[in-house]
Amino acid sequence: MAGAYDDRDGKIWLDGELVDWRDAQVHILTHALHYASSVFEGERCYAGKIFKGHEHSLRLIESARLLDMPSPLTAEEIDAAKEQVLQANGFTDAYVRAVMWRGSGPEMGVSAKGNPVRIAIAAWEWGNYYGDAKWQGAKLDIAKWKRPSPETIPTAAKAAGLYMICTMSKHAAEAKGCSDALFMDWEGFVAEATGANIFFTKGGEVHTPLADRFLNGITRQTIIALLKDAGRTVHERRILPEELADFEECWLTGTAAEVTPVAQIGDYSFTVGPIAREVSDIYEKLVRS
């Protein structure tokens, strides 16, 4: 499938029914467009099975709750809708995007409790998020923006509004020939990339930022469990930016990124080494099992 995302063949699930792709529309006065009252999930389907699909549905509902939006569907109903989308489009390997938002209604101000909460689910075929970096190692810029304090935003929500600085930072990174950008948090500790969590190695042990001030990714949690099952020591902790000089390997994790090694962050270089390859191989086997 190619072309603009609003001009494709296929079906999208919208508020309880499958509609033609081009007919999946919202009004210009949709509350989410003006006030970012929207949450979403990104999932991958491998060989006909969505990896941790139910966990993603649960997180979608929780993200909405954190934004004071009651979900109109249960996780099981969202699961079933995702399966309908895959079947309707004939996909067995695909990326699945579920989104929940406040639509247009009787209110058009900051408060919008009278507006309906809507859900849509789309799916499309999507290859490696970072292209050739999947094997060669991604190059990351260091973002000028910082991840804000949990006192200012609902950091546990996968909310659309939290990605504003991600888009800006990724654009700036791409202008420099990089694949992505690394954020520090508001205190100056290493946080995450624009759409992926980050891991490092040193002396055979793994280090990753403590995910209590940014989204604790489902793929991140999966990778930590896989590493521990393989006998690897994993340190979840605060990481200072100057520590990047001492790390040997680095990789990103996320539903879209899967496991993508990193070769460079700013002036720091990393080896695309055996632990990253080991993690990638184990993850590939798990999602296709």
Domains of the chain, residue spans? 11-124, 133-287
Whole-number Cα distances in Å, 252 to 57, 125, 172, 186, 207? 23, 21, 19, 21, 12
133-287 has the same fold as 11-124: no
**Which pLDDT score is estimated for 136?**
83
- Characterize 207-234 residue by residue with b for buried, 16 or more Cβ atoms within 10 angstroms of its Cβ, and e for exposed: bbbebebbbbbbbbebbbebbeeeebeb
The single residue of 52, 158, 228, 285 carrying the catalytic annotation is 158
Cβ-contact 199, 250 below 8 angstroms: yes
Question: Which residues are paired to 253 by β-bridges?
Answer: 197, 259
Pick the CATH number of 11-124 from 3.30.470.10, 3.40.50.720, 2.60.40.10, 3.40.640.10: 3.30.470.10
Asked if residue 265 lies in contact with residue 250, where contact means CB atoms within 8 angstroms, the answer is: yes
Cβ(133)–Cβ(196) below 8 Å: no
Indicate the helix (H) or strand (E) that contains 220.
helix 218-229
- Residue 61 is given by DSSP the state H
pLDDT at 128: 78
Per-residue pLDDT of the chain (289 residues; tens, 9 = 90+): 468 999 999 999 999 999 999 999 999 999 999 999 999 999 999 999 999 999 999 999 999 999 999 999 999 999 999 999 999 999 999 999 999 999 999 999 999 999 999 999 999 998 877 776 667 899 999 999 999 999 999 999 999 999 999 999 999 999 999 999 999 999 999 999 999 999 999 999 999 999 999 999 999 999 999 999 999 999 999 999 999 999 999 999 999 999 999 999 999 999 999 999 999 999 999 999 8
Which helix (H) or strand (E) element contains residue 175?
A: helix 164-175
For residues 87 and 173, what is the distance between their CA atoms, to the nearest angstrom? 37
What top-level class would CATH report for the domain 133-287?
A: alpha beta
Q: In the prediction, which pLDDT does 135 show? A: 72
Q: Helix or strand or coil: residue 50? A: strand
Strands 197-202 and 138-147, sheet pairing? unpaired
pLDDT at 126: 87
Q: Which amino acid is at 255?
A: T
CA gap 156, 212 in Å, rounded:
8
158 in active site: yes
Give the residue from 261, 265, 243 showing the smallest Cα distance to 252: 261
pTM above 0.85, yes or no: yes
From the list 47, 266, 31, 284, the residue with the least C-alpha distance to 160 is 31
The whole-number pLDDT of residue 111 equals: 95
Backbone phi, psi, residue 35, to 5°: -125, 10
Which of 59, 54, 63 shows the shortest CA–CA distance to 82? 54
pLDDT of residue 133: 67
Calculate ∠ Cα 230-136-91, nearest 5°: 75
